[in-house]
Amino acid sequence: MNPLADNNQKLPLWMQELLDKVKSITFLADDEEAVFDRCLMAPVICESPLSYDKLEELDEEDDFTRELGKLVNAKWTGTKRELCEKALLLENTFYKIQAGKRLPGRDTIICLSLALGLNVEEAQRLLGYLGYGLSEHIKRDFIIMYCLDKGKSPMEANFILEKCGLRLLGPND
C-alpha cells in the first residue's frame, strides 16, 4: 500500500503541495541510513553540500555548542522548557547538549533547527559542526528541508514523514 495514496483532501495546502512534490520526484533513497552503503561505493553521489574547506572550519564540538547558544539567544523568545517541548527534547538532554556534556545526534539537531525556525542554510551549518548534513536527493531530507524553508515545527514535519511512511524525528539518539 502506498502511504501517499491516502485521502489528502483535508490537509493544509502546504502539506498537499509537499506530498504532490514528493510523489513527482525520484530520490536516491528514502532515508539517509539507506544511502550509507552507496556512499562507500560512490562517494561523489553523496558529497556534502558544504565544501571541504567549510567542513574543516566546523570541526570543533566547542564551536557547535557556542553556535547553538548564539542561535537559541537570537532566535528563541520563549523559555527553555518551551523550546524543549517544541523540539521534542527532554530538558535534561537539552541542558547537557548546551553545556557541551553531550553531543546530539542528527535528528536532535534537526528538531532543534525546526523548533528555532532556522532556514536550510543555518540548519546545514549547525549540522555541519558535527559532520552531519541534509541532501535534497534523499526523500526524508527533502521533506525536512522543505519544512525548514517553510518554518514548520518538528511535529508538522513528523506528520508529513508519517504520511510518506518515513522514520519520524524524535529522541532516538
Q: What is the pLDDT of residues 108-139, one digit of tens each?
A: 999 999 999 999 999 999 999 998 999 999 99
Contact 159, 15 (CB under 8 A): yes
User: Using CA atoms, how far apart are residues 125 and 59, in angstroms rounded to an integer?
Assistant: 11
AA letter at 169 = L
109, β-bridge pairs = none
The count of other CB atoms within 10 Å of the CB of residue 168 is 16
For 118, phi then psi, to 5°, come to -70, 150
Q: What is the pLDDT of residues 51-70, one digit of tens each?
A: 555 555 544 556 899 999 99
Return the domain boundaries, the chain: 11-41+51-163
Query: What digits encode the pLDDT tens for the residues 33-47?
Result: 766 555 544 444 444
